[in-house]
Every structure is written in C-alpha cells, then in structure tokens.
Structure 1
C-alpha cells in the first residue's frame, strides 16, 4: 500500500507542477487597460429565452471602448419570454446594434451553432473580426479591443478568452472551478498553440474572438452544426484548415455567471459531458483516474490512520494537499476563489464523476435536452 500511495503522490505532484508552469509561464493574459484597434469588429450575441439576464451583457457591449468601427449584432433565436423586447429597450436607437430574428432550426443542426452561423453570415458589411459572446457574460470596457489585440499578437485565427466564473452557491463553488483547473492541469498550453493536431485543442464559447477570413476558411459553425461542444469542435476545424488557436485568461476582461440554480448547473453539464469524453470506455478510464488521483487520497489517509499506519496516512494526506495546491494555483491564475473551496477538491472531482455518469445515462435514453431542444 505504501508504494501505491507513493505512486499517487508522485503523479499528483507532477500534475500540480504542470498546472503551475501553465499558469505562471504559458497562460496568455490580455491587458485590461486602454487599448485601441482600427479594424472593424462585429460582436455577435445569440439569444434564446434570455430576458431575465441579457440586460447587463447588452449594457456592457454598448459601453465598449477602443473599437471605433464596432457593430453589435443580436439574434433572437425563437425566444418565448420577450427577449427581443428587452434588447430593444436596452439598445434604444443606438445605430451600432442590429437585432435579427432567427430562422427555423434546419434538420441536422443544434441550436447554438445555427444561431452563431446566422450571425456570422448575416452581418453586413463584413467585418475583419468576429467576437462571439454569450448572454451570461459581462465585459469590461476595453474587453473586445484587448481580445482582438491579443488575437493579432498571438498570430492566431481563434482566441478563446476564458471569463472569470462568478460563483455564489455551494454547488457553484464545487463544480464551476473545475473548468479552468482541468485545462490548466492537463492541457500543455504552449504545445497546443504550436501543434497543428486538431485533437490538441480547447476553447470556451462564452467569449470567442476569430479572424473572419480564417473562420470562413474553416467552415465556421456550419462545420460543427451538430456538435454539442461547438466551441471546441470549431477550434479543431480551425486547426484542420491550417489556422492557429490560442487560449487566454480573460478574467480581467469578462465575468460570467453560467447558471443561476443547481438544476441549471446540473443539466448544463449533463448535456455536454458525454461529448467531452466520447466513447463510454474512455470516460470510464478518465473518471477512474481522476477519482483515484484526487478523491481517493483523503479516504486512504483516514483508512490508514484507522489501521495504525501513520506513514501511509501522511503520504496520502500530502497527495491530497498537493491536489488542493493545484486547485489554488488554477483559481489564482484565473480570478477564481481559492479558499476554502480548494480544500473540497476531492468532493468536486467526485461530483464531476457523478455528472459524467448522469450524462451518459440520459444520453443512452435519449433524454438530453437544453432550452427545450434535444441535444443528442
């Protein structure tokens, strides 16, 4: 048992070291201060039943600075809650904002890719850069200009600037920080940017900036029409077409409260986790490893204490603390809350395992849906 726990300890230590290297050396951090771009930019905002939370997002978009040639294009994708009326009330007669009505969803398309594709192809005149923003994202005044500047500085076709995730409930604090922790811990950022391999790609659709010509060359959202994780799949298509992608910490540029309630959070992750892992066997292996490395150590420590083997208990406790350290590094690097949330990291990973199991279970029974539409 001691050798087994020592192997766990070494593995967790290596992963935490990788998190630290990514966060301290390779993670891009666009400047939040005054910056200006001269090329035309269109901010694209797809909406479906967002009447209760779109107003802060819209006000932040209308307050953008540093982009003299800025257009904001909003698409109401079949909302039934008066979303379009809220958009009109907030925008008033601002000539920079255009409100479109979404077309019916064609066969073979999921809702968000279809909405994004309409926005990208119905924006006239054509801008040089497209910035996709979700309704739950609130940007700082120079966010769009800063993201476009970083896109050009990176020489990339697509830049994903991850917002600061706003957490308020216990469920938020357990689950939401895993987003940043997972890619900082397991994704080699510099290799991802340099490699042309589509499998080595990551992106978050909350705040995504793309060169329009490169976006169209990759096929745009039409190339990922039926993908639940359309953001990651779009990044892969960009690589397949010869483009480059880049990730950035956008916590100084944007904030995002992804889900308001526990059922929304649970169902939001459930709809997409199966697509993250692919084949159930791959999901089983990955989740088992995560549980072994990050959930088992405190349990082993307690069991070893009860069995009278303090040396084993100490090694297991150290493995737990190293996992906690990785979570702290991730939180501090991306504007998240580190303490005391990181201490519950083993519980967080356990929740991730349960949500993954639920995702595959509901998909098998064809019961996955989002915003009133099936997603698988």
Structure 2
C-alpha cells in the first residue's frame, strides 16, 4: 500500500469515526432533552400572593408594545398588593406618553423618565437598576416590553419562586417566530438549555457555567437581588440576565430557567433585519467574550448536528441516524414549549449554520466597534 493510499485510508477511518461519534452524541442530546422536558420546573396553580410584588418594566422606543404589556400586567389576578414601575429609558417615541396615561388612570403604575445610562453602563441594566431602586416589593418581577403576560402569570411565577425555595426564576415565555430567519434561529433558544443544560444540576450548582436565564420574564427575591449587588453588579453586561443569575449564585442563592409557556408570549424580534442586529449585539458575549470559546461551542454543535447531516447526504446510515436524532431533539423541545415542530425541525443543521453566521457577524462588528442597538453603541 502506498503512502498516499494509507493516508486516504486513515482519513476515511477518522471521518467515519467522527460521523459515528457525532451521531451518537446527537442521540444522547435528544435523550437528555426528553428528560429535561419532563423534569423542568413548572409554575404551580395560582394562589393569592400575600406579599407586595413589584413588576419592573425597562423600556426604550417601545411605543408599539408598551401599552399591551402594561395592560396585561395590570390585569393580573391574585396579586392584590401590586406596583408597576416603568423606566422610560430616554425613548425617542411615544413610550413615555403611553405609560403616563396608564399612570394617570391607575395608582399602581409609576413612570420614571430616564436620561439614558451613565458611562460604564449599558441601557437595559441601568433601566432595571433605576426601577429596582424605587421598588417597594419583597419580590421583583422584571418584564420586557415585548412580553404579554397571562392574568395568572405574576401570581404563578411568585408561587414558583417561593414553593421551590429559589432566589431567582426565569419562566421562559412562549416564543412567536414568523419569518424564515426567525423560525430558523428563535427555537434554538429553548432548545439550547433543554437539550444541553442539566437543569436540576444547574439549579443546585454554584458554577456560573451551569446557568441559563432569560430576562424577558425574571422573578427574583428582593433581598437576594440586593445581596447579589443587583443590576449594578452587571452594569456593563450585554447578557445581563445570565450575569445576574451568576451574581445571585455567587452570593449564595439558587436560580434556574423554568417553563413559562402558559404564562407569557413574546415575539422577540420582528423580521430578519431586527433579528440579525439583535443577535449580533450579544452573541459575541455568549462564550464569555472569548473567541476561542465561541469557536469551540460552534465546533461542538457542528460535529453533533451538521456533520451527520452532511454524511447522510453522501449515503451514510450513521449520518442519517445522527441527523434524525437532531431533528428528534428539536421536535421534543418544540412540543414542550408549544413551538412549531414540523417542518422547522427538519432544518436543524441549517439553524446551526445560521447561528454560526450570526456569531461570526457579532464578533466582526464587535471587533470593528460597530455594534449598536436602539441607537446606542454596545461595547
């Protein structure tokens, strides 16, 4: 056998091994997703909340959404001692005027008019910090302006926090995804923590790497929030929700993402352009702000979910099995979160490719210093 033939044979063996191992890994991930969807925490039935609850809404340029958001919160049931604080973060539209009308009509609503974040702060952490500083509740519930909660959502979220003995909980809202790029990328959010994060271990662990959070609907014990330093401790973090959970853990608390499918709904980004810019502003930070970590994460996802699909196109049975395992994992998480399962799940390798493109774009813009969101630079 010639040297070239031996090299070709070794390459073939290595390629088949990579496909087989990737396919086996994809099957394990799908099985793990199935387990997680059965054991992740779900809010209990609503009961009257005796505590004072502060619902805090950071908002900038949200005139199209803030009205529905505030109205839904004010329709909350079983929360007799409720206050709603909206921090208008120097909006350039009618966000403040719309909120002011609610405040004039309902004494539970307070409007803060902010002038924007000072040096060293990003906009959302600063808005959350200012709202929390004025809050008088023993429980703080942060709600994004593009989220619409059900009438029992606040009571059930507080019930979950207290009954589970947690310090912070993020019930994950049902995500609406309409456009092609939205349908490719948005489901990866819930898939990522359900498929890849051991939720119960993450809940008990103090390790920051074992964490998942979502600031769209985030409930935290007020005392634990202050022990952790509040949003001041994460003032410059693009992924401030995840950073806040890690701060709570460092302060001795416990927190986890939970099932909020029946509690709230949101369309995070409207259209391909908004989604592109939204993910570009933050994906560079998903690997801890380290390019090597981002590359390693994408390499792992490619090995597990893209390589088997490519091998299947070349007639590999092992690759086909791995591709189908990836699709099965997506279907399991879609069913658990009331997302669109079919045919979207069949494009799972394409979704991973879209994520890689967005991550690369995020790093490119970050290195060039051109990241912006809602008219402000993101560093």
Q: In the TM superposition, what whole-angstrom CA distance separates every residue of 1:301-357 from its partner, at most 9, and x where no partner exists?
A: 122x3xxxxxxx221111101000000111111221111110111100100000001
SS state of the match for residue 29, structure 1? coil
Q: Compute the TM-score of the two structures, normalised by the length of structure 1.
A: 0.94
Residue 161 of structure 2 contacts residue 167 of structure 2 at CA under 8 Å; is this kept in 1?
A: yes
**1:310 matched residue in structure 2:** none
Greater CA drift, 83-92 or 180-189: 83-92
After TM superposition, what 4+ stretches of structure 1 lie above 6 angstroms from structure 2? none
CA distance in 2, matches of 1:231, 1:357: 22
**2:41 matched residue in structure 1:** 28
For the aligned residues, what is the CA RMSD?
A: 1.2
CA distance in 1, matches of 2:337, 2:47: 21
Structure 1 unpaired stretches of 5+ = 306-312
SS state of the match for residue 323, structure 2? helix
Q: Does 1:75 align with 2:78?
A: no
Residue 41 of structure 1 contacts residue 69 of structure 1 at CA under 8 Å; is this kept in 2?
A: yes
Q: Does 1:340 align with 2:351?
A: no
CA distance in 1, matches of 2:102, 2:341: 35
**1:315 matched residue in structure 2:** 318
Instruction: Give the deviation of 1:3 after TM superposition.
Output: 3.3
Instruction: Give the deviation of 1:242 after TM superposition.
Output: 0.7
Residue 34 of structure 1 contacts residue 66 of structure 1 at CA under 8 Å; is this kept in 2?
A: yes
SS state of the match for residue 243, structure 2? helix
Greater CA drift, 85-94 or 179-188: 85-94
CA distance in 1, matches of 2:115, 2:79: 30
**2:6 matched residue in structure 1:** none
Instruction: Give the deviation of 1:103 after TM superposition.
Output: 3.7
Instruction: Give the deviation of 1:36 after TM superposition.
Output: 1.6
CA distance in 1, matches of 2:180, 2:364: 25
Q: Does 1:229 align with 2:227?
A: no
Match of 1:359 among 344, 358, 362: 362
Instruction: Give the deviation of 1:54 after TM superposition.
Output: 1.5
Residue 220 of structure 1 contacts residue 234 of structure 1 at CA under 8 Å; is this kept in 2?
A: yes
Q: Does 1:116 align with 2:128?
A: yes
Q: Does 1:218 align with 2:228?
A: yes
**1:168 matched residue in structure 2:** 178
Q: In the TM superposition, what whole-angstrom CA distance separates every residue of 1:217-251 from its partner, at most 9, and x where no partner exists?
A: 00000000010000000000001111111221101
Q: Does 1:374 align with 2:377?
A: yes
SS state of the match for residue 124, structure 2? helix
SS state of the match for residue 199, structure 1? coil
Greater CA drift, 6-15 or 208-217: 6-15
**2:105 matched residue in structure 1:** 93
Residue 154 of structure 1 contacts residue 246 of structure 1 at CA under 8 Å; is this kept in 2?
A: no
CA distance in 2, matches of 1:244, 1:2: 43
SS state of the match for residue 174, structure 1? helix
CA distance in 2, matches of 1:236, 1:142: 28
Instruction: Give the deviation of 1:90 after TM superposition.
Output: 4.6
SS state of the match for residue 228, structure 1? coil
CA distance in 2, matches of 1:4, 1:211: 46
Instruction: Give the deviation of 1:167 after TM superposition.
Output: 1.2
CA distance in 1, matches of 2:46, 2:162: 16
CA distance in 1, matches of 2:271, 2:99: 24
**1:55 matched residue in structure 2:** 67
Residue 58 of structure 1 contacts residue 91 of structure 1 at CA under 8 Å; is this kept in 2?
A: no
Q: Does 1:256 align with 2:276?
A: no
Q: Does 1:155 align with 2:169?
A: no
Q: Compute the TM-score of the two structures, normalised by the length of structure 2.
A: 0.94
Residue 41 of structure 1 contacts residue 131 of structure 1 at CA under 8 Å; is this kept in 2?
A: yes
Structure 2 unpaired stretches of 5+ = 1-14
Name the count of aligned residue pairs. Answer: 364
Instruction: Give the deviation of 1:92 after TM superposition.
Output: 4.7
**2:17 matched residue in structure 1:** 3
**2:194 matched residue in structure 1:** 184
SS state of the match for residue 72, structure 1? strand
